[in-house]
Copies of this chain bind each other. A is one copy, B any other.
């Protein structure tokens, strides 16, 4: 076993700044969504994904992929969203690939109101702080990291297996 390549001081500072910035930003937007729209950020993400799909509907498996959720975590969240009347879950008789989630009219109404508040937070806590150049840099860096990690994610690994040669 080789000696670990420890971070130098510069890397250590960069890593801690990034970790803190990401976590504080996610926490802040989560608190604001809770305060303004009575929902955690995870619910908001699910409603956005449904609202952008044709007919406001997605198979649970597709919804899990888009939101990078485990099946169990997603199912739990959709149950809560059903209880609030924002989402309906229906069985698809002709499709054994399972249940479909659909955003309700009330869900769309709630989402629009939440989004109108939320965008103010995203601007105040990110875009308004950065120059155009920094926004461009952040996009490049984020796309590199996202592209790399998407391949490692359990959902992506499952998808690759399901569509790979072994299953084809």
- The interface of chain A, by Cβ under 8 A from chain B, is 4-7, 10-11, 13-15, 17-28, 31, 68, 115-117, 119-120, 122-123, 125-127, 129-130, 134-135, 137-146, 148-150, 152-154
Chain B residue numbers with a CB within 8 Å of A6 are: 119
Closest to A126 in B: B145
In the assembled complex, the CB of A13 is this many whole angstroms from the nearest CB of chain B, namely: 7
Q: Find out whether the CB atom of A145 lies under 8 angstroms from the CB atom of B4.
A: no
Chain B residue numbers with a CB within 8 Å of A26 are: 19, 22-23
Q: How far is the CA of A25 from the CA of B143 in the complex (A)?
A: 12
Q: How far is the CA of A7 from the CA of B18 in the complex (A)?
A: 23
**From B5, B117, B145, contact of A119 by CB (8 A):** B5
Q: How far is the CA of A28 from the CA of B27 in the complex (A)?
A: 18
Q: Find out whether the CB atom of A141 lies under 8 angstroms from the CB atom of B142.
A: no
Closest to A124 in B: B148
Q: How far is the CA of A135 from the CA of B127 in the complex (A)?
A: 19
Q: A4-B120, A149-B21 are in contact. Are A126 and B27 (CB under 8 A)?
A: no
Q: How far is the CA of A119 from the CA of B5 in the complex (A)?
A: 7
**From B11, B20, B27, contact of A135 by CB (8 A):** B11
**From B20, B125, B148, contact of A129 by CB (8 A):** B148
Q: A18-B142, A25-B22, A27-B68 are in contact. Are A7 and B149 (CB under 8 A)?
A: no
**From B4, B126, B153, contact of A28 by CB (8 A):** B153
Q: Find out whether the CB atom of B145 lies under 8 angstroms from the CB atom of A21.
A: yes
Closest to A11 in B: B127
